[in-house]
A and B are shown apart, each in its own frame.
Chain A
């Protein structure tokens, strides 16, 4: 076994582990681990319906943004008659 093989093994495995670590840290930062019980309990009800629900909420949000944008543009285009 040459030294290069050992270096390669160490580098690859540590790198893979580090990817997992970075994913976890990202999860902590974005608040995904704030609720301990959710891990266990929410998983039981996780199904297609919830996915549809999430999509629906997303749509609602986008709709609101679009509405605001329109209003904003209307305000911008409004020129008081002088």
Chain B
């Protein structure tokens, strides 16, 4: 949201060169508020910025600007008067924790933070406020924890303080998911620290060990080194490795042999063998391999935990921005009622800019609603008496009364958030190849080891000898190459993808994507650009581009923005003109005066109302421009299809993948786009949860679904798909629930993502095949009792090198466009 606002400002300021003293955004000098202070000229873009600057200066906090450098901020907005809601009872019960000693605590999300200087400023100001006992802001996710004394200061005052310096704050409930996610993260952190500490120290002791093995070492020194390694390895195995024991135990309970079983059985048997070797002073110890396996696999698991936490952060954002109270009308009396207490049939009043939290039907008034978070379409929807309002949409321009048709917990917005929460935690799981193979592998190795022990014992009757050989089978089969097979290949795959602007958030997604056979695409913002642009223009006598630009710049409507960007592209430099009496006409257009002349810009209805004859036959959106009731320009706008979309979709279909389109838009425009890019299967007019249930239907049919989307309306569908791909400029929620992000937003990148993942998966299979082959050779040797530490060390590192080398081959993957260039060069 904040980023969007910034972009608009920067775009409109294409001529301008002077930066606002507070927010650093650049504007033309003529439109800025200038002020002289100590022989220094100050410029401000708005009253808000000016106010904040002087406030900070008087508080002695103006060093903020040195810290800020030239990072642009969001311009400070004048505060709205909804502060009362923070002191209401319903709000208090939901978000505030009260301690025994009378102190209160709340968790807030601070909006508008761009850099660390902003965090510094907020903390500083909160610390200086009387009555605030503790305030800390997280630099990573901009969440704040504030403890205050309610006898000295009210919460509304605290929020007001934050707003007064140009930021906004809203509450969230951390008990939802955050606390749990944080706890797991900390647990992993501690276990990894112990693991890394143990591994590093055992490594340098092991160097002495190996040196001694080749050059000869007295048994006395060897014993010392063995004991030292034993002491270091024990906490690593039992503390850091606890997670694998737990996993293996759950697997055992459910009769599944998994990677955890292999890791824990390998580590434990090597550990026991090493203790045996240490006590009997015979053979070599393997404490170093014990800690290495545990630590490396643990770090991989930790990365998964990290990516889950990010999704949780944005969920809190959605919930926090929804109002907790609404204004209801009962027998002409207005009252604030907590959202939970609103019953079906209550009349609710909506003011401009308010977010709808309860579904209903309009009873009086009319206005435009922004439904982009539900349908993905940026164009506001006009609603009047009898029309249905859905929660999650935003009332843009007028006061509307409506009757609640559902209560809060059944309204669309709440069910979307609940669904999203559920989808994140219950993402469909595709069994990873390495996991399946290692399952079989570890059962077979364990059986072979047992048979070896039994065989040797029966054959020569020496229990000790039989035990050593049996354990050496497990040690040599230790999943070194097998464990490296997947991570090495996926690491290379991910780095190639990242170089091409495709970010895979987790390594395992490559494999899932390679197995996918169905691609679901969102329309607006994914196949198309998501904003209308001019496709046809007709200019008549008397047209002045500078005048039109000035007119459309007064509106934030997507059509106006489309016209503005077209004018800026077509005409080099346009001087800004001062307009007067600017009026925006609801859902129709804009009216203004310039030097006595009447300017009119808008759709068919607006011009017909003024009695102007126009040609309104077109399947695209139309925009007319009239001066003094005489038509001077006519534009046709449409949402253009992204460059290369058709080619990319054809290529993807050639890979044998079925492509479908899911959209919240009307059937007609959906079909038009689908035909243009070559998609046969189209599902139109879908609400967010319908998209998601459709994806679940596909999955029920056995398809592995990749979903590409960009908006809040796609979030649930993204979360429930097997692989979710988001556009880099899409909504924060969409990006956060996604597994893959396309930075350059090119449809071609989807095809490349498919190619890279399939190539990587092939390498994974090759690696697994090789490491199995290695075991087929090495294990029989171990069974026959030929294994000594020298052979073990050599074969283990050789097998790992082969796996690494094979994975590097992924880098030779060629893409079509590069091939063509290569041919031309030759």
Q: Are A14 and B193 in contact (CB under 8 A)?
A: no
Q: Does B138 contact A (CB under 8 A)?
A: yes
Question: Which partner residue on chain B sits nearest A21 by CB separation?
Answer: B197
Q: Are B101 and A65 in contact (CB under 8 A)?
A: yes
Q: How many residue pairs at the A-B interface have CB separations less than 8 Å?
A: 76
Segment of B119-127, B156-164, B557-565 engaged in the interface with chain A = B119-127
Q: Are B201 and A14 in contact (CB under 8 A)?
A: yes
* CB of A41, distance to nearest CB on chain B (Å): 3
Chain A residues with Cβ under 8 A from B190's Cβ?
25, 28-29
Q: Does B134 contact A (CB under 8 A)?
A: yes
Contact of B127 among A7, A34, A41, A53 (CB under 8 A): A53
* CB of B690, distance to nearest CB on chain A (Å): 38
Q: Are B140 and A33 in contact (CB under 8 A)?
A: no
In chain A, positions 55-71 with a C-beta closer than 8 Å to chain B are 56-57, 60-61, 64-65, 68
With A3-B220, A6-B224, A37-B116 in contact, is A60–B139 under 8 Å at CB?
no
With A14-B232, A42-B116, A53-B124 in contact, is A33–B189 under 8 Å at CB?
yes
Q: Does B149 contact A (CB under 8 A)?
A: yes
Q: Are A34 and B133 in contact (CB under 8 A)?
A: no
With A53-B124, A64-B103 in contact, is A41–B139 under 8 Å at CB?
yes
In the complex the two chains form, what is the Cα distance from A80 to B228 in whole Å? 70
In chain B, positions 114-146 with a C-beta closer than 8 Å to chain A are 115-117, 119-120, 124, 127, 132-134, 138-140
In the complex the two chains form, what is the Cα distance from A31 to B186 in whole Å? 8
**Chain A residues with a Cβ closer than 8 Å to the other chain, count:** 31
Q: Are A6 and B127 in contact (CB under 8 A)?
A: no
* CB of A68, distance to nearest CB on chain B (Å): 5
* CB of A2, distance to nearest CB on chain B (Å): 10
Contact of A45 among B67, B102, B127, B186 (CB under 8 A): B67
Q: Are A57 and B133 in contact (CB under 8 A)?
A: yes
Q: Does A44 contact B (CB under 8 A)?
A: yes
Question: Which partner residue on chain B sits nearest A47 by CB separation?
Answer: B63
Q: Does B205 contact A (CB under 8 A)?
A: yes
Chain B residues with Cβ under 8 A from A38's Cβ?
138-140
Map CB proximity to A onto B531-547 as digits: 1 under 8 Å, 0 otherwise. 00000000000000000
In the complex the two chains form, what is the Cα distance from A28 to B149 in whole Å? 29
Q: Does A82 contact B (CB under 8 A)?
A: no
Q: Does B14 contact A (CB under 8 A)?
A: no
Contact of B221 among A3, A25, A57 (CB under 8 A): A3
Contact of B116 among A36, A41, A65 (CB under 8 A): A41
Q: Does B182 contact A (CB under 8 A)?
A: yes
In the complex the two chains form, what is the Cα distance from A28 to B190 in whole Å? 7
Q: Are B221 and A64 in contact (CB under 8 A)?
A: no
* CB of A15, distance to nearest CB on chain B (Å): 11
Q: Which 6 A-B pairs have the closest CB atoms?
A: A41-B116, A37-B139, A38-B139, A37-B140, A21-B197, A35-B138
**8 A-B pairs (CB sep. < 8 Å):** A3-B224, A28-B186, A28-B190, A28-B193, A35-B139, A41-B139, A45-B117, A64-B101
User: Other CB < 8 Å A-B pairs besides A14-B231, A42-B120, A45-B67, 9 of them?
Assistant: A10-B205, A21-B194, A25-B193, A25-B194, A28-B189, A42-B139, A44-B67, A44-B116, A53-B127
